[in-house]
Amino acid sequence: MARQRWQGLTVMSVNAKKEPGYYGDGGGLYLRVAPGGSKSWAFFFNMHGRRCEMGLGSVKDKPLAVVREEAHRCRQFLSEGIDPIAHRKAQRQSAKDAVQKTRTFSECAIEYYESHRTSWRNQKHGKQWIDSLITYAFTIFGEKNINDIGKADILAVLEPIWVSRHETAVRVRQRMKAIFDWAAARDLRTTQDAHLWDQITRSLPRTKDLRKPKHFAACPYSQVAAVIQTIRACGASSSIRLAMEFTILTTARTGMVRLAVWSEFDMEKARWTIPAPRMKAGVEHRIPLSECALEILRERARNRPLKDARPTDLVFPPPGESRTVI
């Protein structure tokens, strides 16, 4: 009598199986029928002397033809000495890592802003920093994966404002670059061209050929004395008049003079030392004082109450406001 050939499972037999148990299809692939009637696929194999079972999913989700392909790939892994269960776990972890490394431009910008905001001395600057990106960049590619942003996207942000609002455009470009570098350091942006920003700059018009900067007119040296006489006769408070004259004599920024405190001055050495935290560049700055500048300080000292004088007192306090910097 001829031996009947075993043909494995068919679609009809898979649907017909009701009794709990395992039904082989060959090559380690089995149909598993649970006591409750649910059906799933399982792949059995030997690895390092151990019998292993690998679930391949539900029959409802994967038809017989599909799961046979999966079992075939598993057998290929085994022929190469690869554990198919470990390989699948590695793939899932890799996919999970890829999702975790996916960020939109707006997400990266906000993370960068939050991590750097405490290092900015000026809160107003910090607000302008993120607001400029919200206004110009977020509207173009804020919700786009930062890894997919290309030259055309960047130019779409910069070109409309490059001439009309050039200073703003330059700042936006610098801030976008900072965010792209931050993302690249975290492997969130892996496709950036090393020549990206050089090409962006070359593709934009040279603004110095399109518009000339407008500077405030400087006071001629021959008229400085007349300006000082005008300041002295202007009727402003003593503190304001002397602060304006002191600014002219020291060529300091107005903010440096307004916030100057007595501890910064050495009257014997005729020197004003502005500490690094008060300087824009973050470097200590020393200014020699002329006799006229020293006389202004002496006058301010004569008008300063001695009973509560402190080194932190402002030299030129605004009228009606506290004299002390805390």
Is residue 191 domain-shared with residue 240, that is, in the same domain? no
- The 3-state DSSP class for residue 285 equals strand
Residue 147 bridge partners (DSSP): none
Higher pLDDT, residue 35 or 99: 35
Is residue 79 domain-shared with residue 115, that is, in the same domain? no
Token pair for 120: 């900015």
**Tens of pLDDT along 268-311?**
999 999 998 888 888 999 999 999 999 999 998 887 654 455 66
In contact, 188 and 236? CB cutoff 8 Å: no
Residue 58 bridge partners (DSSP): 40
Is residue 197 domain-shared with residue 136, that is, in the same domain? yes
Residue 214 belongs to some domain of the structure? no
Token pair for 191: 């496709």
- Closest CA relative to residue 176, chosen from 144, 116, 133, 131: 133
Residue 9 belongs to some domain of the structure? no
Residue 320 belongs to some domain of the structure? no
In contact, 189 and 146? CB cutoff 8 Å: yes
pLDDT of residue 311: 65
Average pLDDT over residues 1-13: 68
Domain residue limits at 92: 18-100
Is residue 128 domain-shared with residue 51, that is, in the same domain? no
Mean pLDDT of the residues in the chain: 86
Q: CA 83, CA 135: separation in Å to the nearest integer?
A: 52
Residue 50 bridge partners (DSSP): 47
In contact, 134 and 174? CB cutoff 8 Å: no
In contact, 315 and 297? CB cutoff 8 Å: yes
Q: CA 261, CA 282: separation in Å to the nearest integer?
A: 18
Strand ranges for the chain from DSSP E? 21-26, 29-33, 39-47, 50-58, 265-266, 271-274, 285-288
For residue 205, pLDDT beyond 90: no
Is residue 133 domain-shared with residue 164, that is, in the same domain? yes
Residue 308 belongs to some domain of the structure? no
Q: CA 163, CA 50: separation in Å to the nearest integer?
A: 72
Is residue 122 domain-shared with residue 47, that is, in the same domain? no
In contact, 282 and 276? CB cutoff 8 Å: yes
CA 279, 281, 284 angle in degrees (round to 5)? Answer: 55
- Closest CA relative to residue 193, chosen from 141, 136, 147: 147
Residue 54 belongs to some domain of the structure? yes
Query: Tell me, what CATH number does 56's domain have?
Result: 3.30.160.390
Q: CA 319, CA 297: separation in Å to the nearest integer?
A: 17
pLDDT of residue 326: 40
Is the pTM above the cut of 0.75? no
The domain tally of the chain equals 3
Count of CB atoms situated within 10 Å of the CB of 146 = 23
Is residue 128 domain-shared with residue 190, that is, in the same domain? yes
Residue 6 belongs to some domain of the structure? no
In contact, 109 and 183? CB cutoff 8 Å: no
Residue 325 belongs to some domain of the structure? no
Is residue 293 domain-shared with residue 257, that is, in the same domain? yes
**Tens of pLDDT along 241-277?**
999 999 999 999 988 999 999 999 999 999 999 998 8
Rg (CA), the chain: 38
